[in-house]
Homo-oligomer: A and B are copies of this chain.
Amino acid sequence: MTDVSTCPPLTRQSVREAHNRIRPYIHRTPVATCETISILASTPQAERCPSSGPNTAAETAPHDHNVTGDAGRYTARPTVKLFFKCENQQRIGAFKARGAFHALGRLIEADGLESVKKKGVVTHSSGNHAQALALAAKTHGVPAHIVMPSISTPSKIAGTKSHGANVIFSGSTSDEREAVVAEVIKETGATLVPPYDHPDIILGQGTQALELEEQVKAILENDPALGIAGRKRLDAVIVPIGGGGMLSGICTALHGTGIKVFGAEPRFEGANDAEQGLKLGKRVEKVKTLTIADGLRTPVGEIPWSVITDKTKLAGIYSVTEEQIKAALKLAMERAKLFIEPSAAVPLAVMLYNEDFRKMVEQEAGDEGWNVGIILSGGNTTVEAIAKLFASPKHEEERAGAKVTTNEERVAENVAG
């Protein structure tokens, strides 16, 4: 990785330059809208029908601020139109391709292609960053060494290998992994490309915000009915936060534009370390959580932290329960028809179910309302994982019982008229 001291400053202009650098290698992912979900988001939770929300939230999260299905109680009525940035359709299926292509491009510029080709790059990751770096390295003919725990799921190992990376197995603790990385560096001279805590990564991840800003403008010029009446631009963006590379990149990209940036975090087992950290005024350095939003289990890194604690850059962080993430995931798939991973559903969950967030939008956006960008950060999950999330044994039993009638119904009418 290039030395931090030689990196471009974390400014909107640097994000623009990063965008120019990576544009040939990444997809300009589409922006989707979904009338049904925008209407739902603009309806108070207490007025929604039970099937449109996590109606078991009251049971599973008794201390939660959110209220669903409680028609007697006031809940906020923000007016919003939503714009989904489909990074699930980015190369390797997640936004991470942006940071990896940018970091590697900068490294090649700094050290020269021949030198980088000779030494190679290395990282440790069992997730999207591994595949992103493998793809970027393959594209430039650079060897990539990816240290993965030997217990990684076979599909992820296969995915990383399919991009031609040299996969090296390690134990699963931090020490064990880093020992293997150190060994690789010693043997090959490879340069470490970390997943989020580096300006080159941050600037790369921020590029999606420039596209979103332009795309929403273009959509609204073409069809104003898709947005808030009379407002021809984005008002706010909600972004998932794990290590914080993407959130700090988007804060940087949109700084000074007047577009508000919000972070969205899972709350389960203290996964909301960034939200907590902001309250305490101190970065939380360790997190141990098994939230279903598995891309967001990481605590926020040092450089991202320095960005998101700047109140002119980040407008706030809000968190959601596991049930709320599942409900948002279900809506994104069934209504918007977008296949996303649980981590990518967290911003939509904040928009739909976090009552503090909703009250704030109701107040700040007023009767006019806001055009809100929702970052769908990735789609790297499997139908089997989705099956595991949504098929409870009880559920299965109910479905089996209902099977006979359903079949009858379906067969009965298969006769041409």
Contact = CB atoms under 8 A, between A and B. Distances in A.
Contacts of A30: 30, 32
Number of copies: 2
Contacts of A289: 411, 414
B337 A93 contact: yes
A416 B285 contact: yes
A26 to B, nearest CB: 13
Contacts of A329: 383
Interface in A249-297: 283, 285-290, 294, 297
Interface in A143-166: 149, 151-153, 155, 158
B286 A415 contact: yes
Nearest to A402: B153
A330 interface: yes
A229 interface: no
A168 interface: no
B382 A387 contact: no
A177 B413 contact: yes
A158 B173 CA distance: 50
Interface residues of A, number: 74
A59 interface: no
Given A124-B413, A172-B409, A330-B382, 14 more contacts: A30-B32, A89-B336, A126-B409, A151-B409, A172-B408, A174-B413, A174-B415, A243-B416, A290-B407, A297-B410, A329-B383, A333-B339, A337-B339, A387-B395
21 contacts: A30-B30, A51-B155, A93-B337, A152-B409, A172-B413, A173-B412, A173-B413, A288-B414, A290-B410, A297-B410, A298-B413, A333-B383, A334-B379, A338-B338, A338-B339, A339-B339, A384-B391, A384-B399, A386-B390, A387-B391, A391-B391
Interface of A: 30, 32, 49, 51, 86, 88-89, 93, 124, 126, 149, 151-153, 155, 158, 172-174, 177, 194, 197, 243, 283, 285-290, 294, 297-302, 329-330, 333-340, 379, 381-384, 386-391, 395-396, 399, 405-417
